[in-house]
Each structure stands twice: as C-alpha cells, then as structure tokens.
Amino acid sequence: MKKFMLAVLMVFIGVSVSEASNILIAYFSRSGNTQKVAEYVASALSSDKPDIFRITTAEPYPEDYNETTRKAQEEQNNNARPVLSGDVEDMSKYDVVFLGYPIWWGTVPMAVYTFLEGYDFSGKRIIPFNTHAGSGKGRSISDINAAVPDAEVGEGFAVRGADAESSGASVAEWVNGLNVISGEPADTGTETKQPENEQTENTAGSSSSSSSGGCGMFSGTLLLCAIMIPCRKFAGRSEE
C-alpha cells in the first residue's frame, strides 16, 4: 500500500516517468544459423522482452547453396534491393535495434540494405551480430554505418556458422556486457567469438515480437524508484 501511495504521490507532484528503451531484434537468416544466434540474443534480453522481426524476401532464395551464392553475388554486383515480405509496424518505438545477418560476399545480404533503407534509424543504436564461414565481420560494420549514417552503430559480434548452435554462452556474455538490459545505454559490442555464416563468406541465408517495458528514471529520484517501485514487464508478440 505504501508503494502504491508513493507512486500516486510522485505522479501528483509531477515527477515524470520514462519507460526503458524498447528493443528490437531484426535478423536475416537462410540456413538457420543466424536465427539460432538471434534466439540466444533474445534469451539474454528476456527480462526486457524484446520484439523480434525476421527479415524475409518476397522471392525466397534457392534451396541449393551454390545457386543462392550465385544469386547473392548477382544482387551485390547489381546493387539490388530485394523486396521484403513484411514490415516492422512501428519502428519509431525502438531505441535499440540488434541486427543479425550472415556474411555474403564479404558484407551484409542485399536484403538487409532494403531493411535499413526502409526505416528512419536516426538516433537509434544499431548493434550488429553476424554469422560467417571464416570472414568474421567482413566489411559489414562500415557498410551499415554508411547505410544509416545518423544511427549509432556498434562494433558488432561475429559467430562462425558451424558454432552457432553452441554459441549461447558467448552470446549471453556479449549481450550482458552491452548494458542495454532494463533500459541502460548500449555500449558498442565487442567481438569475442566468431559465429555463423548462413552461407559462407560469399553468400547466403515469420517474424514475431514482444514488447518491453520497465522502470524508467525519475528526475532526481532514480534510487527511490529502484527501491520503492518494482519494474513491471509486459509481454508482447514472440518469434518463430
């Protein structure tokens, strides 16, 4: 009862409450390796219940790996922007976007460019993570920076594709070191381990979501809020 009365009093005297940063995990995955890493990222952020969005193309990539590789190279040579099959309903509500992808021909798949160019990322933190077959992050971080110059792009995290399934612990360690949980500011990520490449370094790779909330910062009363008013989380949509 005392906690409730304190909350009412703070609202009455005009103390403002801001919710924790909303987090989106957006990823492109063909073979499932990047999807697995995205699931580990979501698990590490579970207390914030991030929304999850899978980037998919209207025209699926070939089942055959070599054909996908050829198509990916052709798209890159033509600077193509594949049409996507879905949209993020309200990108404006996200402050932090984890962006996952395999390294195709040294960088992000062209579908990821379509995604990045389809929304306003000004002022947002983009935290990349990728899978690969030996090329690490390739030139993906600099390419993402060039595509969204008004966003704050993190250093990223790379996982070798063959290690994606067993990368849970290293992914959790990386995420926990970013200080994005419960609305804390995101630092740039640091590569500690190299994870998946949906394709290889030359190629290829339903969505869902959950909303997040939490105790925000009271002007001059952050400590009081942390002690007296427990955070409340609200579940949202989830991933496939």
Q: What is the CA radius of gyration of the chain?
A: 19
Q: Which of 117-131, 163-177, 195-209 has the lowest mean pLDDT?
A: 195-209
CA torsion, points 237, 225, 222, 176, in degrees to nearest 10? -40
40-53 pLDDT per residue, tens: 999 999 888 999 99
Question: What is the predicted pLDDT for the residue at 223?
Answer: 34
Nearest to 140 by CA among 109, 167, 115, 114: 109
Specify whether the CB–CB gap between 173 and 157 falls below 8 A. Answer: no
Helix (H) or strand (E) holding 26: strand 22-28
Averaged confidence pLDDT in the chain: 77
- For residue range 62-121, what is the model confidence (pLDDT) as tens digits? 999 999 999 999 999 999 999 999 999 999 999 999 999 999 999 999 999 999 999 999
pLDDT, residue 203, reads 52
Sequence-distant (6+) residues with CB within 8 A of 166 are none
Contact 93, 122 (CB under 8 A): no
Give one DSSP letter per residue of 68-81, joined into a string: HHHHHHHHHHTT--
Domains of the chain (ranges; CATH) run 2-228 (3.40.50.360)
Of 171, 214, 226, nearest in space to 194 by CA: 171
Would the pLDDT of 210 be above 80? no
One-letter amino acid identity for 170?
S
| pLDDT tens for each residue of 152-180 | 999 999 999 999 999 999 999 999 999 88
- 122 pLDDT higher than 70: yes
**Are the CB atoms for 132 and 121 separated by under 8 Å?**
no
Give me the pLDDT at residue 211, please. Answer: 34
* pTM (whole model) above 0.85: no
Length of the chain: 240
pLDDT of residue 179: 85
Percentage of the chain with pLDDT > 70?
66
**Average pLDDT value for residue range 124-139:** 97
Confidence of residue 212 (pLDDT cuts 50, 70, 90): very low
| Residues with Cβ within 8 Å of residue 223, at least 6 apart in sequence | none
Q: Quick check: 200 and 73 in contact, CB under 8 A?
A: no
- The answer to whether 211 and 22 are in contact (CB under 8 A) is yes
In this predicted structure, the answer to whether residue 206 has a pLDDT above a threshold of 90 is no
